[in-house]
């Protein structure tokens, strides 16, 4: 059975779009209290966040 999707993932995507994709990943990670590598992984998996 797959893991439940993290609510932080949706928050990260929302914040990313609110900042027009101009927010640095390390700043986004700090805002959510997560590792930058986690944000980078989500970004690569979510087609809407790839630029």
Whether pTM exceeds 0.75:
yes
pLDDT at position 49 is: 52
Q: pLDDT, tens digit, for every residue of 1-51?
A: 888 989 999 999 999 999 998 999 999 999 999 999 999 999 888 865 555
Spell 4-37 as b/e; 16+ CB within 10 A means b: eeeeebeebbeebeeeeeebebeebbeebebeee
pLDDT at position 46 is: 82
């Amino acid at each position: 059975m797959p893991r439940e999707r993290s609510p932080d993932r949706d928050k990260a995507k929302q914040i990313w779009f609110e900042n027009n994709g101009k927010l640095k990943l390390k700043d986004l990670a700090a805002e959510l209290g997560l590792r930058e590598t986690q944000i980078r992984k989500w970004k690569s998996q979510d087609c809407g966040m790839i630029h």
